[in-house]
C-alpha cells in the first residue's frame, strides 16, 4: 500500500511560471533587435556598405539595453542604423522594466514567500541529526515546553495554524534554532514535512488547543510513525477515550490534573510540596504547603473547569457551593444562580461564612473582578484563582491569591515530566496511594538531601550505554547496590544530593528502593536531586576507578 503525500513545490518552478511572459517578451525583443542590426545596412570609412555580424549585433544590443552607451561599433552608424538603435533602446528598456517589475511582484507574492519558507523549513527538518520533538501548537504551553527542551539540548519543530505564533518563535530567542511552519497540523502532509517519521523524532505533541484537532494529529501521527510516542492534551473526557483508542500513549487533561492535585493536597499537604518540586521546576522541597482549609468552599464558574474542581472536592468530603449564571443540570448540587461579579449573588452564597473560594470562569477579567470583590467581602478567604492567558500574569500576581493555576503551565509541566523522566508519572500515581505519614517521610528525606535547591528528576537505565562501569562490574559478578550510587564520587562518606524514587525491573517496580537493593542489568532507576548530583552520578557510573572506590566502602576497605 502506498500513500501519496503532497510535496512542497519548488519555488524556482513558480518563479519561472510567473516570469514566463516577461522572459518571452525579453527574448523576442532582443531577437528582433539583434536580427534587425544584421539587416540594416551601414557605411564604412571607405564609403562601402557593410552589415553587422550576429556577434557584433548581440554585443551592441546587450549593452544597449542598459543604456550605458559604449559608442557605435565597429563603424559609425548610418542614419538607418541609428533609427533602429533608437527603437531598440526603447523596446529593450521597456522590456526590462516590465520584467523587473514582474520579478519584484513575484518575490513579494505571499504564495511565493510561503513556498520559499516551506522549502527552508523542510530543508531544516531534514538536516536535524539530534533528537527533537514535533510540537503541534505554540500557545503558552508550547512556548514553555520549547524553551525548557531547548535549554536541555533537545530540538523542537513547531507547527501552528496562527502566523503570529509562528513568527514569535524567532522573537522568543530560544537557545536552539527551531524550525517553525504556519500550517494545519491535521493534514498528514504537514506532519510528514515536519518530520513525524524522521529518525531523530522522539515524540509528537498534540497541543493545538482544539480537542478535535488534537485527536486528528494523534491518529495521523500513530499511522505515519507508529513507533513514536504521542503526547496529547484533551479537555473533554469523550475525546480522551477516542485519543486512547487511536494509540496516544499519554493524555493530559489540565482540569483533571489540577483538580486532583487540589483534592489530594487537602488530605495530604506534603504531597502538594513534592508534586510542585518534582514537576514545576520552580518550587523546592523546603517550601511549606499552603494551609488548605477543610471547611466550606465556593466555586464561582460552573464550566468544565469548575465542574471538575467541584467533583474532586466533594470526593474528599468538602462542602461545596457552586455559583454560576446558569443553574447546573444536577438539581441536587448546592448552587446559587447569578453573576459572581455581583455582591448580592455572593451574599446569597453566604460568602461571609465560606472558608475558601475557587474562581473558575474561563475569562481572566471576570476572574480578577470576582477575586477582588470576594476579598473585599471576606478578607480571610483561601483563594484559588484560575488564569487563562499567560500575558495577564502581572495582574494575577498583584492579586496575590493562595494558588493561581494556568492551564498552560500545567500542560507544560506534565509534558516535560513525561519527556524528562517517563517513570515519574508512575511514581506520582503510587505516591498518591500512600498515606500522609509516608509522604511526609519522603518530603523530609528530600529536604535533607536536596535542601533549598530546585529538584531535578531523571531516570537512568542499567546498561552498557548509560552505565558502562556499573554494567561491567555486574557482568564480572560484582554486587552493585542503590546505596553504592548514592555516595559522592570524590568522598564516599558524603551522601549524594539525590533521592532514589523508583526502581523498575522486569518483575515489577520498587517504590523508594533501599540502599541494600542490588541492581541488575535491564533495571531502570528514577531519581530526584540537585543538578550537580546528576553530573556527579554520571561520573560514578562511567568511571571504573570511581566505582571501585565506592564499592570498597561497603566492604569496609
Annotate 223-273 with three-state secondary structure: HHCCCCEEEEECCCHHHHHHHHHHCCCEEECHHHHHHHHHHHHHHCHHHHH
Inform me whether the pLDDT recorded for 7 exceeds 50: no
Write down all domains in the chain, each with its CATH number in brackets. Answer: 11-108 (1.10.287.70), 126-252 (3.40.50.720), 255-420 (3.40.50.720), 442-554 (3.30.70.1450)
CA distance 175 to 514: 39
- Alpha carbon 141 to its chain centroid, in Å, reads 7
pLDDT digits (tens, 9 = 90+) for 365-400: 999 999 999 999 999 999 999 999 989 999 999 998
Q: What is the mean pLDDT of residues 193-221?
A: 92
Inform me whether the pLDDT recorded for 513 exceeds 60: yes
CA distance 499 to 487: 11
How many residues would you count in the chain? 557
Dihedral of CA 69/75/76/78: which sign? negative
pLDDT digits (tens, 9 = 90+) for 455-485: 888 888 888 888 999 999 999 888 999 999 9
The model's pTM is 0.76
Annotate 39-74 with three-state secondary structure: HCCEECCCCCEECCCHHHHHHHHHHHCCCCCCCCCC
Buried b (16+ CB within 10 A) or exposed e, 42-67: bbeeeeeeeebeeebbbbbbeebbee
Which of 249, 228, 250, 251 has the alpha carbon at shortest distance from 238? 251
Tell me the pairing of strands 49-50 and 42-43: antiparallel
Mean pLDDT in the chain? 87
Going by the DSSP 8-state scheme, the letter that residue 351 receives in this structure is G
Q: Copy the grid coordinates of residue 237.
A: 473526557
Which of 271, 285, 313 has the alpha carbon at shortest distance from 438? 271
Burial of 102 (0-12, 13-18, 19+ CB in 10 A): middle
> Quick count: other Cβ atoms within 10 Å of Cβ 416?
21
Beta bridge partner(s), residue 385:
359, 404
Secondary structure of residue 319 in the 3-state scheme: strand
Which phi and psi angles does 43 have, rounded to 5°?
A: -125, 125
CA dihedral 215, 216, 217, 221 (to 10 degrees): 100
Inform me whether the pLDDT recorded for 22 exceeds 90: no
Amino acid at each position: 500500500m502506498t500513500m501519496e503525500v503532497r510535496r512542497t513545490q519548488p519555488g524556482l518552478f513558480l518563479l519561472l511560471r510567473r516570469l514566463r511572459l516577461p522572459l518571452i517578451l525579453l527574448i523576442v525583443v532582443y531577437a528582433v533587435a539583434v536580427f534587425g542590426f544584421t539587416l540594416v545596412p551601414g557605411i564604412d570609412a571607405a564609403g562601402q556598405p557593410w552589415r553587422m555580424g550576429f556577434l557584433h549585433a548581440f554585443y551592441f544590443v546587450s549593452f544597449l539595453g542598459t543604456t550605458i552607451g559604449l559608442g557605435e561599433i565597429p563603424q559609425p552608424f548610418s542614419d538607418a542604423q541609428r533609427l533602429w538603435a533608437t527603437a531598440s533602446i526603447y523596446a529593450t528598456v521597456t522590456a526590462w522594466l516590465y520584467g523587473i517589475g514582474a520579478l519584484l511582484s513575484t518575490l513579494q507574492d505571499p504564495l511565493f514567500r510561503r513556498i520559499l519558507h516551506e522549502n527552508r523549513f523542510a530543508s531544516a527538518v531534514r538536516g536535524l541529526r539530534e533528537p527533537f520533538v514535533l510540537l503541534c501548537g505554540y500557545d503558552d504551553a508550547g512556548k514553555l515546553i520549547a524553551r525548557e527542551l531547548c535549554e536541555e539540548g533537545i530540538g523542537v519543530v513547531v507547527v501552528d495554524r496562527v502566523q503570529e505564533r509562528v513568527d514569535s518563535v524567532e522573537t522568543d530567542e530560544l537557545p536552539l534554532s527551531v524550525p517553525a511552519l504556519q500550517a494545519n497540523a491535521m493534514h498528514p502532509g504537514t506532519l510528514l514535512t515536519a518530520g513525524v517519521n524522521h529518525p531523530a523524532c522522539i515524540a509528537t505533541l498534540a497541543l493545538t488547543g482544539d480537542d478535535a484537532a488534537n485527536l486528528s494529529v494523534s491518529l495521523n501521527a500513530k499511522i505515519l510513525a507508529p513507533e513514536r510516542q504521542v503526547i496529547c492534551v484533551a479537555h473533554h473526557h469523550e475525546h480522551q477515550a477516542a485519543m486512547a483508542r487511536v494509540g496516544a500513549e499519554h493524555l493530559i487533561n489540565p482540569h483533571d490534573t489540577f483538580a486532583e492535585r487540589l483534592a489530594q493536597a487537602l488530605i495530604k499537604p506534603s504531597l502538594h510540596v513534592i508534586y510542585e518540586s518534582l514537576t514545576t521546576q520552580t518550587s523546592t522541597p523546603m517550601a511549606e504547603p499552603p494551609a488548605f482549609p477543610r471547611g466550606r468552599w465556593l466555586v464561582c464558574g460552573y464550566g468544565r473547569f469548575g465542574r471538575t474542581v467541584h467533583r474532586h472536592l466533594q470526593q474528599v468530603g468538602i462542602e461545596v457551593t457552586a455559583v454560576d449564571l446558569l443553574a447546573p443540570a444536577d438539581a441536587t448540587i448546592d448552587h446559587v444562580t447569578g453573576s459572581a461579579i455581583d455582591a448580592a449573588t455572593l451574599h446569597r452564597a453566604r460568602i461571609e461564612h465560606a472558608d475558601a473560594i475557587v474562581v473558575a470562569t474561563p475569562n481572566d477579567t471576570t476572574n480578577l473582578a470576582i477575586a477582588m470583590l470576594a476579598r473585599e467581602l471576606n478578607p480571610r478567604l483561601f483563594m484559588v484563582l484560575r488564569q487563562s492567558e499567560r500575558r495577564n500574569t502581572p495582574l494575577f500576581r498583584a492579586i496575590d491569591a493562595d494558588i493561581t493555576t494556568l492551564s498552560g503551565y500545567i500542560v507544560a509541566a506534565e509534558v516535560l515530566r513525561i519527556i524528562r523522566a517517563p517513570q515519574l508519572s508512575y511514581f506520582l500515581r503510587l505516591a498518591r496511594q500512600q498515606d500522609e505519614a509516608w509522604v511526609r517521610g519522603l518530603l523530609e528525606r528530600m529536604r535533607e538531601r536536596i535542601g533549598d535547591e530546585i529538584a531535578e528528576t531523571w531516570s537512568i537505565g542499567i546498561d552498557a550505554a548509560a552505565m558502562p562501569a556499573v554494567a561491567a562490574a555486574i557482568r564480572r559478578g560484582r554486587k552493585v547496590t542503590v546505596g553504592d550510587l548514592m555516595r559522592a564520587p570524590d568522598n564516599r562518606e558524603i551522601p549524594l544530593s539525590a533521592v532514589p524514587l523508583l526502581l523498575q525491573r522486569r518483575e515489577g517496580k520498587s517504590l523508594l528502593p533501599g540502599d541494600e537493593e542490588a541492581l541488575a542489568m535491564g533495571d531502570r532507576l528514577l531519581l530526584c536531586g540537585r543538578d550537580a548530583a546528576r553530573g556527579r552520578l554520571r561520573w560514578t557510573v562511567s568511571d571504573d576507578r570511581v566505582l571501585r572506590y565506592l564499592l570498597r566502602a561497603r566492604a569496609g576497605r
